[in-house]
Amino acid sequence: MRYINLTNEKKRNAQVVFKSIPSPKKVRMVTELGEPLQNKRLLKFTSENSLQSLLNQFKDAQHVSEAIIKEDPDIDIELAGKILKNTDRIYINEKEKVVYKVQKNEKVYLPDGTLKEERTPRYLDANIDIEDPVLWTGKVFPRSKICQKLVFNKNYQICHINGLTYDFLYGMAKELASKDSMMMLTAGKGGKNPLIFNDGGKPYRAFLEGRIDGDKYCLILHLTDLELKTVIKKD
């Protein structure tokens, strides 16, 4: 279980759990005999048979096409189609050679796709289950409007672990459901930072949604790192 230290509207905090709830599959793929399908990872080509490697070898696309017609250099008969099991990620350069000293850069783009900044990636520490709890900011946003401004790309369900945390979370869900709104959550000292769920992970803006049905409740934590903006084209 993964824990989050959460604060309610009365500034009281409790450690609860969160988990992802996968949607059930509506379509099931089977063979002609009704047997379930199994996915396999197959080797398509090696570094010697990739398109970039062939372009480096034969200089241009025309010569690559002629070589494929005559010799089939794009296929390794011994390895093509081999089933892959355990694999490791490596980095290669433009010549399809393995590199061992890699310097990563983070690119920041403007809404119109223009490169704004290129910088060294920041390593951020998780901040959801530490001494400073995740804060209930009091900033509510109507559900009908916030979905028109933000793109939510992750969702977690907040769950209780005992009777006390059930009352704690049910009260939060009831408050949000009555307002038909989402509550913005922040983290860190002073409550000004986005939520980071893993060491070295991405920061996310978080919004909490609540639903109730009798004595049952549902708290959904919506995460986003994308904002919908209007692109103004200059003539």
Residue 215 lies in a domain: yes
Residue 104 lies in a domain: no
Give residue 209's pLDDT. Answer: 95
Residue 44 lies in a domain: no
- Reported pTM: 0.69
Give residue 234's pLDDT. Answer: 58
CATH number where 220 lies: 2.40.290
Q: How far apart are CA 110 and CA 121, in angstroms?
A: 17
Residue 233 lies in a domain: no
pLDDT tens-digit series, residues 13-29: 999 999 987 777 788 88
Confidence of residue 233 (pLDDT cuts 50, 70, 90): low
Residue 108 lies in a domain: no
Give residue 19's pLDDT. Answer: 92
Structural domain boundaries enclosing 208: 2-22+124-227
Instruction: Between 214 and 56, name the one with better pLDDT.
Output: 214
**What's the N-to-C CA distance of the chain in angstroms?**
54
Residue 211 lies in a domain: yes
Residue 94 lies in a domain: no
> How many domains would you assign to the chain?
1
